[in-house]
Amino acid sequence: MAGESSGLWNNLPSIIIVEIFSFLSLRDRLNASSVCKAWRNNLFHPKLWRKVVFQLNSCDNKTVNQSNGARFLAKHCGRFVREVIIEVNSSNPRDVQLCKEVLKVLTYNNNLRALSIKPLSSRLEWTDYNDTLSLDQYVEFLIRIIKRAHCLEHLSLGCIEELLDLSEHFLAPLSKYQAKCLRSLHLSSVKEVPGNYFINDLKTSLFRTFLQLERLSIDYDYLNDHLLDVFSQSQHRPLTHLIIHVHSFDYRFPRVSDAAWKRLTLHSPNLEVTINLLHFHNLAENVRHVLSGEMPLAHFRVYFSSGFDVDILTRIAFLNDNSLRSLVLVDELDDDLLPAATFLRGGVDPLVMLAWRCKKLTYVKIIGYEVGADSLIAVSRLRGEQLKDLKIPACCISSTQLEESEQLTQQGALEHMQNEVSYGLGQYWQPMTLNELPLAVRNVNMDADGAYLDEILRDQMWLFLAIDEPYFGADRVYFSTGIAELKWSSKGDQDLYREKLYCP
């Protein structure tokens, strides 16, 4: 009787098995695949595996035989998966090489809709003898992926400078093969030497064919009236997000005019602009040339930029008061773990002015700038419960003025501030601790991009995916809704996984 039952399960049509799998959690699906060979053969049906996350970090002690796991997933899913995210430790040549192997498998994928490279650092570390060859192969595989996919809707190259210096190599095939599909394109970079880099040619005319493009990230060096006018044409779908990375300002290139911004916003009324100021060391006055009252600036971020002056926030408060939603300022602390920059200059505090005028402000993070405790109280009262997040470390808060005005001790002033800010925000609030700060803020020997790369790469996430489509990692598999998670916590778990797939 048991044999007959086993035979019945074995003879179920694939369409029924796949349908059964679709109702199971990942762990139950894996267990069910051990019923018989027919069920195992359907475990990697394309309908069940829409999204794969490859985690390539051989320096992670939590990972067990990760390289084999990544190759296993690439072999079984790489030729049909719709969305791929490659999280790679770009500081490790072995992981950079493995990333290239994954890209090679994807060159045979017709169904790929979205590809994102998400590095731990904005630079790729090669072996000492074949870096040029490896970079050429990266470019070759990416171009082959672009040409092979039937409808590529999203491409993010992870702000990697070596790849994005060759943006035109990708734009030409994208314009030829993916013009009708592409909706999200991310070409913005992080420069290794921000004050001294070569600006490559980038033909803005290639963007004319991207009629469906809604999300674009690009370096400010390539932003001009012509590019904005391309996206202002009636045949183009309105832009929803424009992310601009500003590393330097060159007077040889004309600034984007207010008129061009106005034409773009008329065509794209829901457009949100993000400005990321990255290691900007030009004159502070040059930042003003980047801003415009016609620009719908929603997110303004400054990272490790000596050329930024806090007084610019007053200008933003008047230019972009109807659009600004978030402010992020991050800089390093000195040897005593104290901020080098300050808001305490006398007169009206630019931060308070910003909070007063910008009615949509919901997020503020300030690290490496000295802020008065009384100013934080004012910000919390002005924005109230609408301000969902106010992040600032205790080492960056000065209580001197509050001590004098309220005749309190330093400890008493800080406690008073915490109570007042909590009351203003309508929720419990406390400053960040040193342990919550990025290492690059506390240690100048660390790569600075560790303090912000993850934050700016969130701008480049692919958003057009059904919420229940599964994610697959080299050492874990999970659903986007958090329903199920499977981890290989030991070599035995990994062997069990393979046994369920391959046992006769």
46 band by pLDDT with thresholds 50, 70 and 90: low
Residue 432, helix vs strand vs coil: strand
Instruction: Show the CA angle centred on residue 289, arms to residues 285 and 291, nearest 5°.
Output: 110
Residue 240 burial by CB count (10 A; 0-12/13-18/19+): exposed, middle or buried? middle
What was the pLDDT predicted at 67? 63
In a 3-state reduction of DSSP, which class is residue 286?
Answer: helix
Q: Judge whether residue 437 has pLDDT over 70.
A: yes
- Taking CA atoms, 451 is separated from 149, 226, 249, 277, 339, in Å, by 34, 34, 23, 13, 16
Q: How many CB atoms lie within 10 A of CB 501?
A: 16
Query: For residues 367 and 331, what is the distance between their CA atoms, to the nearest angstrom?
Result: 6
Res. 28 pLDDT band, cuts 50 70 90: confident
Q: In this predicted structure, what is the pLDDT of residue 36?
A: 75
pLDDT (0 to 100) of residue 474: 35
Per-residue pLDDT at 306 exceeds 80 = yes
- Taking residue 200's Cβ as centre, other Cβ atoms within 10 Å add up to 14
CA distance 492 to 498: 10
Mean pLDDT of 196-217: 90
The mean pLDDT value of the chain amounts to: 85
Task: State the pairing for strand pair 470-472/476-479.
Answer: antiparallel
